[in-house]
């Protein structure tokens, strides 16, 4: 019998070999050949800063020919999901960005390099104290401070202000008051909001269900909105033991105020738009459809590049206890399981040095946490003729911390849908916010 | 002549040798994972920390906090929306396509196109079509509707996309069922003076019962596991209104990093689907014997 | 009488055409949008023809950091490898269940059958844990291994088919001195071409389309398959619909072409595979 089986077996084997060969060819070679440079991978989510890093590492590689640094961008939406599975599967990069809510779980699991002992003390002297404190847990620093966002402020569209007969000065010292007496914010926002027939929100014919121009970006945005509205009304997000405490009377009043801006006064996009798309308000502002856009310096580069109208920055509205902003920092953590511990430490040291961080500030990409690199950031924006002082001036009145503690991802996952309902106006603020706090705290005790 | 015993042994060796590779696959990638998920449902694990035994804590937390209860309810509503509607449309389309009109084969091919395509990619296409401000549907309507961000509309919208995907598949089976009905029966009914409607209700529909049963069972089971379209369209939102069980398992494991809770949910889903399958098997058996009497 | 029949037929065609339009609409919109510039998309209605006609979206996908070309290659390689593995293992097992007498055959067949009740969603978490433990997470093999050995479903279909092959053919070959493998390759497989074609189409389609497992087990662009690349593109370029529609077009069109080429056997395959 002609051995068809042999032919088929040979065919199958050939297919198999061809595929294995192709896969081997596709396999990115991460082994460092003899004499070649060791590869250190740095992962982050921010594209402007990644561009600054590329320049920074080009300078670093010149002085350190034995190290090659690869910059890897993972989009913010997937960042922490992917990071967790990568760390779990021994596939994490050597250096990766973390934020205040995410690093404790990694630190507790032993996945991060102890920066306090890994880097020489004099290399750690010149870092923002606030960011250093944010990334210190059990008396150990778990990341090299990279970005020190100052406060939140309000971007304004000067053309839209002009149309409403307002000047930037008219919106630079707004106040909000849940009790109503000392409120100047709502009246201004009503002038700045228009429906499709061109009626402003303070006119009798105003149809709030169909807006063509928004006054403001009230909505569920923890960093730009919620934390500041809580703090400016004397409410806490978390208490000293990291329990969630935002459902106090003052806290609920803050939520109610934000919700009323959307649903009662109708001067902000509906939660249906902003709940599911975190970039909705920024897009509207950049398209010239939103007059006031409250945000941080993390949007400075985006606004500067994307806005084709006159714009500027003013201080955020002050509440019953003043204008209090949250502050947040970002750190670069070292992978404790890195295949190149020595090289990783040298890269981290570079990132924490004035020379290494200079590039972040000098490109205007973000506000560096290395103090000596900060003047370059101010100079960049001064040269661009943008006054960024409102982001900094607000810090004098005291600040509110960003979310902290090991359980943040689970807590946010638990409370977020409940708060979505509150912002949509489907549950009363008091009931919904209390339920959200309870759900968040339940994840801590598990 | 070899003894019977040695022949039997030879045949046993051959049998197991032929079975070995697939048995490896079945044991390692189907049976073992079921044991692992059962084991994991009694553990606490956040992917990076140590795995520790917590007894029934995960079960208590999953069954008490309402999140999983919401997912079960959402999934049930989803199944009740999708299955009857797509069955009716599929039945209607099959009736029209089995009238012997020219071009029927072409329409059949067109209708089944969505079913062979990646549900994820089609979900992304629909995400744009249904987008509130620059979406194709609202542009056509000239009117802004929050298809995917209004909690009251999101689940029906996702269901509509899934129905759109499945209708062609259901149609194929009803077409096969209708074409299997012997022509003489229909002819006899017509000679007796039965109109088209009567023929459909009293002859075609009863004869389609096995097909109907098969279609209902398979589509119920697959609707219970919907994930890709939900991931593409709503990610379980707004306000958990589309948080079907499969999506909840995924987000619980890879977004909230609570693998123990995800395992509990997987175990519950497994039990539900096994019960549905066994129940339909029993029912089907009975039905068949009854009909043969 | 004639007129009513004519108008009834016209009504049927009208309904069928509307159905076809509704079915094809999203595909056409996706493909049209993929060839448009961002400017045209922002300014004109979704229903306009691409003007100017641009390939830039595709160029950006294939040459840019999204590495779509690589994703397509990986998807194809994985699907082919799964197909080859599944066919070989399933044919061997199905033959054993259909034609070889060995102790435990009945029990094992029931075990195989019962695994059909396990929903794939349930397997994702434990398989992820297992792949991580053996160090295969985020590798090409993690995409392939769980599916390459057997599909109880394919075994079931093949066994039914094999049982219809006349035993005399097999006995005759045996008398000629053929061993089991020869019988399989010379007689059983050639006679089972239709069912093997069915399985081939179904396997390729389901693995080209599979999403949840690759999403969970891979990270980054290295081993990303087409569906995962499409999903991550849509979350990264939220609102850049011309680019996203180019991605969905790349994910959809290969299967559409395959489908139109093998239309007849596809339709038959779906009915066979479904009614098992």
Q: What is the ipTM of this complex?
A: 0.91
Within a 10 A sphere around the Cβ of C42, how many other Cβ atoms? 12
Given the structure tokens 């159905």, which residue do they identify? C19
Q: Do B36 and C155 touch (CB under 8 A)?
A: no
Given the structure tokens 């400017």, which residue do they identify? C39
Q: Note whether A206 and A170 are within 8 A (CB).
A: no
The pLDDT tens digits for B253-291 are 998 889 999 999 999 999 999 998 888 878 766 654 444
Q: Is the pLDDT of residue B107 over 90?
A: yes
Does residue C176 form part of some domain? yes
C271 vs A286, more confident: A286
* Å between B5 CA and nearest CA of chain A: 29
- Structural domains in chain A? 38-149+328-383 (3.40.190.10), 153-327+387-445 (3.40.190.10)
Q: Is the pLDDT of residue B163 over 90?
A: yes
Provide, rounded to the nearest whole percent, the portion of chain B with pLDDT above 70.
Answer: 95
Q: How far apart are CA C47 and CA C41, in angstroms?
A: 10
Residues of chain B with Cβ-Cβ distance to C111 below 8 Å are 26, 31
Q: Note whether B102 and C212 are within 8 A (CB).
A: no
Burial code (b: 16+ CB inside 10 Å, e: under 16) for B73-93 equals ebbebbbebbbebbbebbbeb
Instruction: Identify the three-state secondary structure at position A211.
Output: strand
Q: CB-CB: which of A88, A272, A446 is closest to B146?
A: A272
Question: Across the strands, what pairs with A335?
Answer: A112
Averaged pLDDT, A251-279? 89
The pLDDT tens digits for A344-378 are 999 999 999 999 999 998 988 889 999 999 889 98
Q: CB-CB: which of A5, A28, A78 is closest to C232?
A: A78
Total domains present in chain C? 1
Q: Note whether C222 and C138 are within 8 A (CB).
A: yes
Does residue C199 form part of some domain? yes
CATH of the domain at C266: 1.10.3720.10
**Residues 48-87 in C contacting B (C-alpha not used; CB under 8 Å):** none
Q: CB-CB: which of C102, C108, C119 is closest to B225?
A: C119
Residue A332 phi, psi (nearest 5): -100, 120
* Å between A336 CA and nearest CA of chain B: 12
Q: Among the listed ranges A70-79, B51-60, C79-88, which one has the minimum average pLDDT value? A: A70-79
Question: What are the extents of the domains in chain B?
Answer: 4-53, 65-292
Grade residue A257 by pLDDT with cuts at 50, 70 and 90: very high
| Average predicted confidence (pLDDT) for chain C | 89
Q: Is the pLDDT of residue A1 over 50?
A: no
C84 vs B289, more confident: C84
Give the nearest chain C residue to B121 (CA atoms): C248
Q: Is the pLDDT of residue A16 over 50?
A: yes
Q: Is the pLDDT of residue C143 over 60?
A: yes
Q: CB-CB: which of A3, A23, A89 is closest to C77?
A: A23
Q: Is the pLDDT of residue C15 over 50?
A: yes
Within a 10 A sphere around the Cβ of B45, how many other Cβ atoms? 23
Pinpoint the alpha helices (H) of chain C. 2-34, 38-43, 56-63, 68-99, 105-114, 120-133, 140-148, 152-162, 167-175, 180-183, 189-191, 193-209, 212-217, 226-236, 241-261, 263-274
Instruction: Identify the three-state secondary structure at position B146.
Output: coil
* CATH code given to domain B65-292: 1.10.3720.10
* Å between C113 CA and nearest CA of chain B: 10
Q: Which two tokens stand for residue A221?
A: 């945005």
| Average predicted confidence (pLDDT) for chain A | 89
The pLDDT tens digits for A150-162 are 899 999 999 999 9
Q: Note whether A268 and A215 are within 8 A (CB).
A: yes
Neighbours of chain A (3+ CB pairs under 8 A): B, C
Burial code (b: 16+ CB inside 10 Å, e: under 16) for A5-25 equals beebeeeeeeeeeebeebbee
Does residue C155 form part of some domain? yes
Q: What DSSP designation does A371 have?
A: G
pLDDT of residue C1: 53
Does residue C237 form part of some domain? yes
Q: Do B37 and C130 touch (CB under 8 A)?
A: no
Note down the domain range covering C144.
Answer: 32-42+50-274
Task: Please give the torsion angle defined by the CA atoms of residues C166, C167, C170 and C176, in that order, rounded to the nearest 10 degrees.
Answer: -120
pLDDT of residue B291: 43
Q: Note whether A218 and A268 are within 8 A (CB).
A: yes
Q: Do B49 and A109 touch (CB under 8 A)?
A: yes
The pLDDT tens digits for B228-247 are 999 999 998 787 899 999 99
Cα torsion A376, A378, A379, A381: sign: positive
Averaged pLDDT, C91-101? 93
The pLDDT tens digits for B180-210 are 888 888 888 888 888 888 888 888 888 888 8
Give the nearest chain A residue to C237 (CA atoms): A75
Query: Strands A136-137, A38-44: parallel, antiparallel or unpaired by DSSP?
Result: unpaired
Query: Strands A153-157, A311-315: parallel, antiparallel or unpaired by DSSP?
Result: antiparallel
């Amino acid at each position: 019998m002609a051995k068809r089986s042999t032919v088929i077996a040979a065919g199958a084997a050939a297919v198999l070999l061809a595929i294995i060969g192709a896969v081997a060819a596709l396999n990115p070679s991460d082994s460092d050949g003899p004499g070649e440079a060791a590869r250190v991978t740095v992962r982050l989510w921010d594209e402007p800063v990644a561009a600054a890093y590329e320049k920074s590492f080009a300078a670093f590689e010149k002085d350190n020919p034995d190290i090659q640094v690869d910059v890897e961008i993972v989009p913010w939406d997937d960042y922490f999901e992917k990071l967790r599975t990568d760390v779990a599967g021994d596939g994490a990069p050597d250096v990766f960005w973390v934020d205040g809510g995410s690093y404790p779980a990694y630190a507790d699991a032993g996945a991060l390099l102890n920066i306090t002992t890994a880097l020489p003390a004099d290399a750690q002297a010149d870092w923002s104290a606030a960011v250093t404190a944010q990334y210190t847990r059990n008396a150990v620093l778990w990341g090299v401070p990279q970005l020190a966002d100052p406060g939140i402020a309000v971007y304004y569209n000067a053309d839209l202000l002009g149309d409403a007969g307002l000047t930037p000065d008219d919106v630079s010292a707004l106040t909000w008051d849940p009790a109503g007496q000392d409120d100047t914010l709502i009246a201004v926002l009503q002038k700045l909001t228009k429906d499709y027939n061109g009626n402003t929100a303070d006119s009798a014919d105003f149809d709030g269900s169909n807006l063509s121009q928004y006054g403001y970006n009230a909505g569920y945005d923890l960093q730009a909105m919620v934390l500041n509205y809580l703090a400016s009304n004397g409410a806490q997000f978390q208490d000293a033991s990291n329990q969630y405490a935002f459902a106090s009377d003052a806290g609920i009043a803050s939520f109610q105020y934000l919700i009323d801006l959307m649903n009662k006064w109708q001067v902000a996009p509906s939660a249906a738009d902003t709940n599911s798309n975190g970039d909705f308000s920024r897009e509207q502002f950049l398209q010239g459809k939103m007059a006031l856009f409250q945000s941080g310096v993390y949007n400075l580069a985006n606004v500067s590049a994307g806005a084709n109208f006159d714009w500027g920055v003013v201080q955020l509205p002050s509440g019953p206890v003043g204008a209090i902003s949250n502050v947040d920092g970002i750190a670069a953590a070292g992978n404790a399981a890195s295949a190149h511990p020595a090289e990783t430490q040298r890269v981290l040291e570079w990132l924490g040095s004035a020379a290494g961080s200079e590039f972040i500030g000098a490109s205007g990409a973000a506000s560096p946490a290395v103090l000596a690199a900060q003047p370059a950031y101010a100079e960049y924006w001064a040269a661009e003729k943008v006054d960024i002082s409102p982001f900094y001036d607000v810090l004098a009145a005291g600040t509110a911390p960003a979310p902290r503690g090991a359980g943040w991802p689970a807590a946010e996952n638990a409370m977020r849908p409940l708060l979505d309902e509150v912002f949509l106006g489907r549950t009363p603020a008091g009931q919904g916010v209390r339920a959200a706090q309870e759900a968040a705290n339940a994840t801590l005790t598990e | 002549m070899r003894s019977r015993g040695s022949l039997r042994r030879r045949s046993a060796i051959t049998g197991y040798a032929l079975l070995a590779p697939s048995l490896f696959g079945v044991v390692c990638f189907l049976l073992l994972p079921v044991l692992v998920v059962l084991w994991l449902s009694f553990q606490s694990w956040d992917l990076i920390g140590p795995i520790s035994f917590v007894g029934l804590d995960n079960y208590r937390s999953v069954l008490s906090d309402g999140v999983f209860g919401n997912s079960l309810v959402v999934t049930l509503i989803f199944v009740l929306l999708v299955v009857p509607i797509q069955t009716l449309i599929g039945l209607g389309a099959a009736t029209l396509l089995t009238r012997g009109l020219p071009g029927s084969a072409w329409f059949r091919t067109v209708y089944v196109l969505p079913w062979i395509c990646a549900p994820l990619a089609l979900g992304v296409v629909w995400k744009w079509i249904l987008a509130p401000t620059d979406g194709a549907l609202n542009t056509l309507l000239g009117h802004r509707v929050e298809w995917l961000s209004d909690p009251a509309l999101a689940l029906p919208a996702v269901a509509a996309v899934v129905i759109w995907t499945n209708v062609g598949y259901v149609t194929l089976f009803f077409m096969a069922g209708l074409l299997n009905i012997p022509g003489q029966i229909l002819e006899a009914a017509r000679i007796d003076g039965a109109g088209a409607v009567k023929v459909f209700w009293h002859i075609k529909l009863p004869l389609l019962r096995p097909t109907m049963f098969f279609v209902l069972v398979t589509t119920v089971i697959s609707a219970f596991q919907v994930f890709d379209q939900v991931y593409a369209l709503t990610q379980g939102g707004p306000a958990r209104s589309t948080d079907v069980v499969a999506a909840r398992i995924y987000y619980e494991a890879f977004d909230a990093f609570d693998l123990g809770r995800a395992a509990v949910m997987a175990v519950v889903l497994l039990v539900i689907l096994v019960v549905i399958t066994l129940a339909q098997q029993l029912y089907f058996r009975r039905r068949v014997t009854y009909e043969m009497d | 009488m004639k007129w009513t029949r004519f108008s009834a037929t016209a009504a049927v065609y009208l309904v069928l055409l509307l159905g076809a339009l509704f079915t094809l609409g999203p595909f056409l919109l996706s493909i049209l949008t993929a060839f448009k510039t961002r400017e045209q998309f922002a300014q004109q209605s979704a229903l306009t023809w691409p003007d100017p006609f641009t390939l830039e979206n595709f160029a950006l996908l294939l040459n840019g950091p999204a590495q779509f070309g690589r994703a397509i290659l990986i998807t194809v390689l994985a699907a082919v490898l799964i197909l080859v593995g599944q066919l070989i293992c399933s044919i061997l097992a199905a033959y054993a269940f259909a034609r070889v007498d060995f102790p435990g055959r009945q029990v094992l067949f029931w075990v195989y059958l019962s695994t059909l009740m396990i929903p794939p969603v349930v397997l994702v978490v434990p398989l992820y844990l297992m792949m991580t433990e053996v160090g295969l997470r985020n590798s090409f093999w993690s995409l392939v291994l769980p599916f390459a050995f057997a599909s109880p479903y394919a075994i079931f279909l093949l066994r039914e088919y094999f049982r219809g092959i006349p035993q005399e053919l097999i006995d005759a070959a045996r008398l000629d001195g053929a061993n089991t493998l020869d019988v399989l390759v010379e007689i059983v497989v050639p006679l089972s071409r239709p069912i093997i074609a069915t399985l081939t189409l179904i396997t390729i389609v389901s693995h080209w389309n599979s999403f949840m497992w690759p999403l969970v087990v891979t990270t980054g662009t290295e081993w990303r398959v087409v569906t995962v690349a499409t999903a991550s593109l849509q979350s990264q370029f939220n609102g850049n619909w011309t680019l996203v529609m180019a991605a969905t077009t790349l994910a959809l069109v290969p299967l559409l072409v395959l489908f139109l080429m093998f239309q007849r056997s596809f339709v038959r395959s779906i009915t066979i595979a479904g009614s098992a």
